[in-house]
Amino acid sequence: MNPTIELLKSHRSIRKFTEQKIPHELLVELIRAGQGAATSSHVQAYSVIHVTKPGNRETLAELAGGQGYVAGASDFLVFCADMKRPTEAAERTGANVVRGMTEQLLVASIDVALMAQNVAIAAESEGLGICYIGGIRNNPAAVSDLLRLPKHVYPVFGMCLGYPAQDPDIKPRLPVEAVLKEDTYCDDREQVEAFDATMRAYYQARKGGNKDANWSQNLTPLFDSKLRAHMRDFLIERGFEMK
Ligand SMILES: Cc1cc2nc3c(=O)[nH]c(=O)nc-3n(C[C@H](O)[C@H](O)[C@H](O)COP(=O)(O)O)c2cc1C
């Protein structure tokens, strides 16, 4: 296997970091690597807020549901879907811009996710650890106010970056046969059952906290309640009306 594929397959989220700071030039280089990602129609519909003020880091840690590593990591980035910049640029050329289309929400959300994943891989290639923080969508309006996000920009997720102070096991993924389907969609219940057994064994054996659960059971809290039901109204208020 080539080293890039090895790196991709060795990812683990890191939630404990050393005191060592990431050099600023390296952080900027990671963002440049992020910008190398493919982007829908070259629109580059993202902005990244580098949160440097300790007080704001503490506030974000609380807003994300009390996730201490948001404040403790060397650096914390908030990845935003940004439809302000491209629509205003088009407007300046005389375009009669239509805003609030669902497609624009998708384009910006996909663009920022691809960009962030490039940043993550670049960081890991430098020996850094990362953890995505979707928890900022627990309180997206307060996060937007804190970061002074304008309309047509919304915070999609955060990312902690730093030098790892832990060495967690790699979390298994679904059997590739469940994910890779030939020509047409096919049922994958068998593979899910096999994966549930894999995950139960993983949780029982892993270092740093074991539990008696499987993958399907872990999904229950995601789907048996209206998780982050505020997102629809929040997005509409930000100018992503989903027309
Ligand atoms: C968009 C996104 C949001 C996430 N949000 C959080 C979060 O708020 N807190 C956290 O500890 N981990 C978060 N994670 C990390 C996932 O829990 C983790 O990637 C998943 O359990 C797989 O584990 P691994 O990354 O170690 O392979 C998030 C991951 C993604 C992709």
User: Best substitution site from 14, 133, 214 to test ligand 1's pocket, by max atoms within 8 Å of Cβ?
Assistant: 133
Between the CA atoms of 134, 140, 142 and 148, what dihedral angle is there, to the nearest 10 degrees? 100
Residue identifier of the C-alpha nearest atom 1 of ligand 1: 134
> Which is the closest atom of ligand 1 to the Cα of 113?
1
Given a cut of 80, whether residue 208 has pLDDT beyond it is no
Closest listed residue to residue 23, CA positions, set 162, 121, 167, 165: 162
166-178: average pLDDT: 97
Q: What percent of the chain has pLDDT over 90?
A: 97
Q: Enter the tokens of residue 193.
A: 């059952």
Average pLDDT over residues 79-97: 98
Q: Ligand 1, closest atom to CA 11?
A: 27
Average confidence (pLDDT) over 13-36: 98
pTM: 0.98
Given the CA of residue 12, which atom of ligand 1 is nearest to it? 26
Mean pLDDT (whole number) for 134-144 = 98
Please give the pLDDT value at position 112: 99
Residue 79, amino acid: F
Predicted local confidence at residue 210, as pLDDT? 86
For ligand 1, atom 15, which residue shows the shortest CA distance?
Answer: 132
Report which protein residue has its CA nearest ligand 1's atom 6.
133
Q: How confident is the model at residue 1 (pLDDT cuts 50, 70, 90)?
A: confident
Distances (CA, A) of 1 to 7, 8, 11, 133: 10, 11, 15, 30
Distance from residue 50's CA to the centre of ligand 1 (Å):
19
Tell me the pLDDT band of 209, cut-offs 50, 70 and 90: confident
Model confidence at 202, in pLDDT bands (50, 70, 90)?
very high
Res. 166: pLDDT tops 90: yes
What CATH number was assigned to the domain covering residues 3-168? 3.40.109.10
Cα 17 from Cα 157, distance rounded (Å)? 19
Instruction: Give the model's pLDDT for residue 94.
Output: 98
Ligand 1 midpoint to CA 23 (Å): 24
Q: How far apart are CA 140 and CA 234, in angstroms?
A: 7
Find out whether 175 and 191 touch, Cβ atoms under 8 Å. yes
pLDDT for residue 207:
81
Is the pLDDT score of 40 beyond 90?
yes
How far apart (Å, rounded) are the C-alpha atoms in residues 243 and 241? 6
d(CA 199, CA 202): 5
Residues spanned by CATH 3.40.109.10 within the chain? 3-168
CA of 217 to the centre of ligand 1 (A): 17
Strand ranges (DSSP E) for the chain? 46-50, 75-82, 129-133, 153-162
* Mean pLDDT along residues 180-195: 98
pLDDT tens-place string over residues 212-228:
999 999 999 999 999 99
pLDDT (0 to 100) of residue 103: 98
Q: Give the mean pLDDT of 114-126.
A: 99
Q: Kindly list the protein residues whose Cβ atom lies closer than 6 A to any atom of ligand 1.
A: 11-13, 15, 64, 67, 131-135, 157, 171
Task: Look at the block and give the residue holding tokens 């704001």.
Answer: 56
Over residues 164-179, the mean pLDDT reads 97
